[in-house]
Amino acid sequence: MTDPRVAAFARVASGNIEPIRVIEGQRTKLTRVAHGITYDPVNDLIIATEPLASSIVFFKGGSGGNVPPLRVIQGPHTELHQPWQVAVDAVHKEVWIADYGQAHIAAFPLFGNGDVAPLRVISDSKDGMRVVSGVAVDPKTNLVVAAARNAHYQGGLFIFDRTTNGDVAPLRLIAGPTTGIRGLWHVQMLNGKIFATVSEGAYRPPYDPGGYAPVANCNGPISEFAPAPLGFLGVWNETDDGDVAPRAIIRGADTLIVQPNGLALDPKHGEIFISTGMRNGLAAYHLPGFF
């Protein structure tokens, strides 16, 4: 989101409609942008990351209005810099964060509050894991995956044991030209599968370093991501390793997927939700076969 708010819509909503409720206001401690929002149905929690404040905020599921968070994880001991995607492991009572600025993923106590140290931090300097934008955890298989760029490929899915701690090599790494992965945003894990939004273009600032004039030879409004392929949603198995093509894919102009980022799964209704800032919207796809 690019407004300091969290908006809730009906699951079957479509079109240009008003949200059912909105969390917004100074008391919420929401900043201009949150690059990760998730809902924990077990504990009825809405959790958002705030990269501008280096914090994680927790709200009651039915919250609306200018309400303070139930808890805030923030401070020097957290090692948070630019928290991006957030994932919940309700089984082990952990909340996982992909830290874009720190080039690592970290687990915190789900009910932590204040300046708390992470339970574990996973990085991988050997493979050059950096610009970490996504994280997902599967408590059934005891695996966690980080979506990141690395030194050898433009992007990859780094699969670790959930209990790992420190600078270690992944158990498996899905990356290479056959995967189609260039840049990655959010990931989810479910039923032994990894779902990932792949944005295939790199960000290109449309202004000069001073920020006051268009780039050279600019003849009109441009996209800061153009020219670039559209991007896609890819699905891999948790057991995949190396340069493996997606097992399933959503892509193409008719899908309206352009530079996808946010991702949510609803296996009960067989639906996948993908957000994109390029279209400033959220799209739902009915694909029960993907689960």
Round to whole Å and give the CA distance between 215 and 193: 42
- What are residue 214's DSSP bridge partners? 207
The alpha helices in 61-174, defined as continuous H runs, are none
> Which of these, 139, 128, 114, lies nearest to 57 by C-alpha position?
114
Superfamily of domain 124-291: YVTN repeat-like/Quinoprotein amine dehydrogenase (2.130.10.10)
User: Which pLDDT value is given to residue 32?
Assistant: 76
As averages over each run of 10 residues, the pLDDT of the chain (291 residues) reads 77 89 89 86 94 93 92 96 95 96 94 97 88 95 93 82 96 93 92 91 53 61 55 95 95 85 93 84 91 88
Fold of the domain spanning 1-89+96-114: Thrombin, subunit H (2.40.10)
Structure tokens of 113?
């509050």
Round to whole Å and give the CA distance between 27 and 23: 10
Beta-strand (E) ranges in 178-270?
A: 183-190, 193-199, 232-237, 248-251, 260-266
Can you tell me whether residue 209 is helix, strand or coil?
coil
Work out the angle at residue 80's Cα, subtended by the Cα atoms of residues 79 and 86, and round it to the nearest 5 degrees. 130
- In terms of DSSP bridges, do strands 36-40 and 45-50 run parallel, antiparallel, or are they unpaired? antiparallel
Q: How far is CA 290 from CA 42, 194, 195, 285, in A?
A: 24, 11, 9, 10
Ranges of each domain in the chain = 1-89+96-114, 124-291
User: Which pLDDT value is given to residue 144?
Assistant: 98
Round to whole Å and give the CA distance between 68 and 63: 10
Asked if 83 contacts 99 with a C-beta cutoff of 8 angstroms, the reply is yes
Round to whole Å and give the CA distance between 223 and 206: 7
Q: What is the pTM of this model?
A: 0.88
User: Which pLDDT value is given to residue 230?
Assistant: 74
User: Which pLDDT value is given to residue 151?
Assistant: 61
The single-letter DSSP state of residue 16 is S
Structure tokens of 207?
């202004």
Asked if 149 contacts 155 with a C-beta cutoff of 8 angstroms, the reply is yes
The single-letter DSSP state of residue 119 is S
Start-to-end CA span in the chain (Å):
27
Sign of CA dihedral 130, 123, 241, 96: negative
Sheet holding 143-149, edge to edge: 130-138, 143-149, 156-161, 172-175
Peptide bond into 227 cis (omega under 30): yes
